[in-house]
Amino acid sequence: MSSVEHEGERAAVVGVVMGSDSDFSVMSDAVTVLTQFGVAHEVEVVSAHRTPEKMIAYGRSARGRGLKVIIAGAGGAAHLPGMLAAVTTLPVVGVPVPLSRLDGLDSLLSIVQMPAGVPVATVSIGGATNAGLLAVSILATANPALADALAAYRATLEDTVATKNAALQQ
């Protein structure tokens, strides 16, 4: 799999990348969020160890191509988010993808333990939905319409809790 999705004809502002197409079952949650919020995005397999030159080119060209946030997911020895963060000053959101052997703890520790100086905003194991939402939040700092959409989304969460509480009372 190379580019598996491009959102309409608009230039992508979020890059969703992953170390393998096998990560897509997790990373598709981020794509779903970006699609729901109407955020133009691109999806690409970029492996830090299988395609290192592509990974560096992707990170170095990201800002110039108009990306504002990169969401990077990988599993196992998951160096992709940190390596991308090393070659761009864009915010990088890391998604630890769980594999079968260590349930994603290896991925989490590989991504979250970045030494000071090159941050990766790490979400929970398999937390691609929150990665998408975090990207939307970052974009919303300069986009009032997106901020309003986020507030509306949060209101739906409140409504859901209220509905469930009401059901408990019956």
Give the pair of three-digit tokens for residue 137. 């939040």
Nearer to ligand RP5, 101 or 154 (CB): 101
Count of residues interacting with ligand RP5 (CB under 6 A): 11
The residue written with tokens 């990169």 in the block is 70
Residue of the chain from 27, 31, 68, 75 that contacts ligand RP5 (CB under 6 A): 75
Nearer to ligand RP5, 104 or 132 (CB): 104
From CA 52, how far away is CA 45, in angstroms rounded? 12
Q: Does 143 bind ligand RP5 (CB under 6 A)?
A: no
Whether the CB-CB separation of 125 and 96 falls below 8 Å is answered with yes
Give the pair of three-digit tokens for residue 91. 């915010």
The region of 27-35, 68-76, 113-121, 128-136 touching ligand RP5 under the rule CB under 6 A is 68-76
DSSP string, 113-163: -PPTTS--EE--TT-HHHHHHHHHHHHHTT-HHHHHHHHHHHHHHHHHHHH
The region of 20-28, 34-42, 125-133, 149-157 touching ligand RP5 under the rule CB under 6 A is 20-28
The residue written with tokens 């393998």 in the block is 20
From CA 43, how far away is CA 62, in angstroms rounded? 13
Residue of the chain from 20, 88, 110, 122 that contacts ligand RP5 (CB under 6 A): 20
Nearer to ligand RP5, 25 or 89 (CB): 25
Residue of the chain from 23, 29, 42, 106 that contacts ligand RP5 (CB under 6 A): 23
Q: What mask of x and - would describe binding to ligand RP5 in positions 88 to 127, judged by CB under 6 A?
A: ---------x-x----------------------------
The residue written with tokens 């970045």 in the block is 114
Whether the CB-CB separation of 34 and 14 falls below 8 Å is answered with yes
Q: Which of residues 25-54 bind ligand RP5 (CB under 6 A)?
A: 47
List interacting residues with ligand RP5 (CB under 6 A): 18-20, 22-23, 47, 74-76, 97, 99
